Amino acid sequence: MRILSLLLTLPILSQAFVAPASSSTSQYSFGLQVVSEENNDVHIHNIIENNIDQSRRNVFQSAAATALGFATMASQSQMQPAMAATGDVKKVLVLGATGFVGSQVCAKLKSLGIEVVGTSRDGRVGTSSLDFMDSSKQVAKEVEALAAGCDAVVSCIGSIGTPNDGQINAGTGLAAVGAKAAGVKRFVYVSVAPEVRDATQGISFLKDYMKGKTSSEQFIRQNFESSYMLIEPTFIYGGDTFNLNPPRVAGFYGQFVESVLSSGLFRAAAKVSPGIIGIALEPPISVQDVAGAAVAGVFGYSSPVLDTYDKIREASASLN
């Protein structure tokens, strides 16, 4: 059992020794994969400048290691797909289109023949520039202009471990105000799981991140009443590399861990386990499922808050 656990944790733990301990640069981004989509304008080469200190690393490391270390049995959970109400969606604005999740959302929308307007901070790879930290511009006004003629907005913007986490993660709330002013019908936000919020309450470096997310969610609820979707994942896996911060595993390996942790035994254990252990026992969700859920949200999927692994899977499955 111990040997198996060690084998399972090896790929993640090995990152502890290769990841830079700190850096003088300020940006740590949630997505660190290189994700490329064929037939997609947005090719992502998201380079991480990691300035997370050792204590931060330890928080994520222990959660990721526990998640993988507990994996011993496999049986897929049975999903009950619900049908998404497909609307007449022609054009969608994706905020954070260059990110790990955002790039997949763009790819899915485009594969369905939907026109996509994407943003990044610097307007690279065919995106429009939108930087929540640019004090010379008003986020709401910028988004109002970008969202003109769009049926829906999906925000995949996030930042963690920077001095600006509060402002960046709250920025999606202001974007919702702009989207509403532009007459957009639906707003979808990839946020974070409530149990992560609860478990990390005492962790000071995550305080601003969580505050920002909470603020954005409030603005979205206020502006979009019954026509929003909040997607709240714990861990997201995908791509072809392992990394420690955030604790993301490559697609092939994440799939295996997902199948193990989605067994009844582990689901039950996750529900009754406290804090970070419970989070570690939640199955990681694939980036394709998160993107699929977001697209279901664009089409008017009936559930406004996807705050569990199962709900995200179900929403994604509704597209099939």
Nearer to ligand NAP, 19 or 265 (CB): 19
Q: Which stretch binds ligand NAP (CB under 6 A): 9-17, 83-91, 131-139, 178-186?
A: 131-139
For residue 114, give the nearest of 93, 148, 89 by alpha carbon.
89
Q: What is the rounded CA–CA span in Å between residue 315 and residue 301?
A: 7
* Contact criterion met (CB below 8 Å) for 121 and 130: yes
Residue window 63-102: x/- pattern of binding to ligand NAP, with contact defined by CB under 6 A: ---------------------------------x-xxxxx
Q: What is the CA radius of gyration of the chain?
A: 19
Nearer to ligand NAP, 216 or 223 (CB): 216
Tokens found for residue 137: 């511009």
Nearer to ligand NAP, 265 or 304 (CB): 304
Among 15, 46, 51, 308, interactor with ligand NAP by CB under 6 A: 46
Whole-number Cα distances in Å, 66 to 12, 144, 174: 10, 43, 37
First-to-last CA distance in the chain?
38
Q: What is the rounded CA–CA span in Å between residue 265 and residue 293?
A: 25
Report the nearest approach of ligand NAP to the CB of residue 233 (Å).
5
With 0-12 / 13-18 / 19 or more C-beta atoms within 10 angstroms meaning exposed / middle / buried, residue 12 is: buried
Residue window 201-240: x/- pattern of binding to ligand NAP, with contact defined by CB under 6 A: --------------------------------x-xx----
For residue 305, give the nearest of 205, 228, 195 by alpha carbon.
228
Report the nearest approach of ligand NAP to the CB of residue 24 (Å).
18
Q: What is the rounded CA–CA span in Å between residue 135 and residue 140?
A: 12
Residue at token pair 């993660």 = 169
Residue 30 interacting with ligand NAP (CB under 6 A): yes
Report the nearest approach of ligand NAP to the CB of residue 3 (Å).
28
Report the nearest approach of ligand NAP to the CB of residue 36 (Å).
13
Q: Which stretch binds ligand NAP (CB under 6 A): 1-9, 17-25, 116-124, 296-304?
A: 116-124
Q: Which stretch binds ligand NAP (CB under 6 A): 9-17, 76-84, 126-134, 198-206?
A: 126-134
For residue 15, give the nearest of 247, 234, 206, 237 by alpha carbon.
247
Q: Which residues bind ligand NAP (CB under 6 A)?
A: 29-31, 46, 96, 98-102, 120-122, 130-133, 156-159, 168, 190, 192, 233, 235-236, 246, 248
